[in-house]
Amino acid sequence: MDKIINKLISNGFVKGEQKIIDIKDLEELTKIILLLRSQQIEKGEKSPFLKLVGSSDRLDILLEKIISNKYVKENLKQILGERYLLMSPSARFSDEGDSGLEIHQDAVGETGLLFLLTDQKEGQTVMVKASHRFPGRISNILSWGSKKLINIISSLYFSITGNAGDHYYWFHKTWHGRKPNTINGESSITLFFPFFPFAANRFDIAEKNQSSILKTRNQYLKNIMSQKIPYNDKVLEIPICLKIEKFDIKALLNINFIIFLLKISILEVLFSPVRILRLLRKIKF
- Coil, helix or strand at residue 1: coil
245 near Fe ion, rule: CB under 5 A: no
The least CB distance from residue 104 to Fe ion, in Å, is 6
User: Between 140 and 210, whose beta carbon lies closer to Fe ion?
Assistant: 140
248 near Fe ion, rule: CB under 5 A: no
For the chain, counts of helices (H) and of strands (E):
11, 11
106 near Fe ion, rule: CB under 5 A: yes
- Closest-approach residue to Fe ion (CB): 106
Per the document, the length of the chain is 285
- Transcribe 114-176 into DSSP letters: EEESS-BSS-SEEE-TTGGGSSS--GGG-TT-SHHHHTTTGGGSEE--B-TT-EEEEETTS-E
Which span (12-20, 103-111, 158-166, 201-209) binds Fe ion, by CB under 5 A? 103-111
User: Between 106 and 122, whose beta carbon lies closer to Fe ion?
Assistant: 106
- What is the rounded CA–CA span in Å between residue 277 and residue 185? 30
Orientation of helix 70-80 relative to helix 57-67, angle to 10°: 60
DSSP letter at 84?
Answer: E
Total of chain residues touching Fe ion, rule CB under 5 A:
1
Instruction: Mark residues 138-177: x for contact with Fe ion by CB under 5 A, - for none.
Output: ----------------------------------------
Q: How far is CA 214 from CA 50, 53, 54, 210, in A?
A: 17, 10, 8, 6
The least CB distance from residue 112 to Fe ion, in Å, is 8
The least CB distance from residue 110 to Fe ion, in Å, is 8
User: Between 25 and 106, whose beta carbon lies closer to Fe ion?
Assistant: 106
The least CB distance from residue 270 to Fe ion, in Å, is 25
The least CB distance from residue 101 to Fe ion, in Å, is 7
Provide the binding-site residues for Fe ion, judged by CB under 5 A.
106
